[in-house]
Structure 1
Amino acid sequence: MDDNRPGPPSGLRELKKARTRQNISDTAIELFLKRGFDQVPVAEIAAAAEVSKPTLFRYFPAKEDLALHRFADHEGEFARVVRDRAADRAPLTALHLHCAAGLDARDPISGLNDTPEVLAYLRLLYSAPSLGARLAEYTVRDQEALAEALREASSAAPDDLLPRLAAAQIISVHRVLALANWRKLADGRAADEVYPEAAAELELAFGLLGQGLAARFG
């Protein structure tokens, strides 16, 4: 046997890794939803996903990351919106329109999605303190990324605190609105019924943000 044979192309390796990562996360979330986050040991998840514990931890450094993998696609999203906006569009306007589009599309990240799977997942997320703490770490990274994008957009000096203050306010507003939307759905209301309220609250929130931030980012 030739030990120097080339391995699979890098694209195939990355595809296999992505599928393995997705399988582990999906398996974990299925178990979490059935029995609760704290009741499912990592060893059981690894066995159900047919991987070893060391392999699992190579993909997910902490148990909480198994549940939060679905947020990975959204990490840094607000920073990307600011950087990818049209040249004649203000950062705050771009973010406002992006959040409004999320409500229109019933994006789960907006909290306004009443499919049973999404409601169950968000209930899991908000019911486990350790998941909330880990999610806060994601939020901090999002906030830092947005602050840097706002700094670039306004040509602010490296020591200018305003981009960081603005990012903190914007990220916090989004989190509060999403949680408020989910709570209404968790009480049994339909997303279509809640939508007009959610849209009005989004307008109110960005109106308040605009009053304080318009001079630099509006």
Structure 2
Amino acid sequence: MTDEEAAAPGPGAPGLRERKKQRMYQAVSEAAIALFLEKGFEKVPVAEVAAAADISKPTLFRYFPTKEDLVLHRFADHQDEAARVVTARPAKRTPLDALQRHFLDGLERQDPVTGLCDHPAVLAFHRLLYGTPSLVARLYEYQDRSEHSLAEALGGAPLPARLAAGQIIAVQRILAMENWRRIDAGESADAVWPDAAAAANRAFGQLRSGLTPYA
């Protein structure tokens, strides 16, 4: 086998151009976040980010349409996460069961998306995110896309599916924010975990009582 063959992606994997593009996204985003954490989001011009990433400002905007997207790129893979969970669930598992299990698994892993993560770098990032109004506003746009993709995965009539998706995404957001609030107040992730898991189970139980077609 040649080196080129060994390095070639497997079936379904992104090609070389796509992998280079993904690495560019990652490198520019990480450079921007480092500057924002050091100086504050509002105090760092986009030109400084471009210089730190060794690209031109027009090139940066081709990758990131807004300054806020430089930060929220970390959430890009999560926009259709709930939809992927529903689509990939076993045939006998309901959408709500699959989403509940996925959220509980995230709590056990202390996935930052669940809010239950006390790693210093994650804490710093969340303080940047939730302490910057324009980033919070942009985050809601990402969540709106999550609702749309989840509604499509749930299927059925468009309006009921969208209403269900909105409730599910809202529950996950509220649970994550409550976990983050306690972590930010100084509690450890291990200490918060039992309450976080219990709250998630209660919340999904409430969803089942109102979303019987998906339960």
**TM-score of the superposed pair, with normalisation by structure 1:** 0.90
Shift of 1:75: 1.3
Q: Look up the equivalent residue of 1:68 and give its one-letter code.
A: L
1:139 corresponds to which of 136, 143, 150: 143
Measured in 1, the distance between the counterparts of 2:207 and 2:194 equals 20
Q: CA–CA distance in 2 between the matches of 1:176 and 1:68?
A: 18
Matching of residue 157 in structure 1 with residue 157 in structure 2: yes
SS at match of 2:15: helix
Q: Which runs of 5+ in 1 are unaligned?
A: 1-9
Residue 108 (1) aligns with residue 112 (2): yes
Give the share of equivalent positions with the same residue, in percent.
59
CA shift for structure 1 position 11: 2.9
Q: Does 1:217 align with 2:214?
A: yes
Measured against aligned partners, the alpha-carbon deviations of 1:154-188 in whole angstroms (never above 9, x if no partner) come to xx234xx2111111110000001101101101011
Q: Output the TM-score relative to the length of structure 2.
A: 0.91
**Runs of 4+ deviating beyond 6 Å:** none
Amino acid at match of 2:199: E
**Number of aligned residues:** 202
Letter in 2 for 1:108: P
Specify every segment of 5 or more residues in structure 2 that has no aligned partner in the other structure, as ranges. 1-13
Q: Which residue of 2 aligns with 1:5?
A: none
Counterpart amino acid of residue 203 in structure 2: A
Q: CA RMSD in A?
A: 1.1
Which string of whole-angstrom CA distances, capped at 9 and with x for unpartnered residues, describes residues 114-154 of structure 1? Answer: 00000110111101110011111100000011111111xxx
Shift of 1:14: 2.3
Per-residue deviation at 1:199? 0.5
Q: Name the CA distance, whole Å, in 2 between partners of 1:138 and 1:179.
A: 16
Q: Match for residue 83 of structure 1?
A: 87
Which amino acid in structure 1 is aligned with residue 39 of structure 2?
R
Deviation at 1:19, TM superposition (A): 1.6
The one-letter code of the counterpart of 2:53 is A
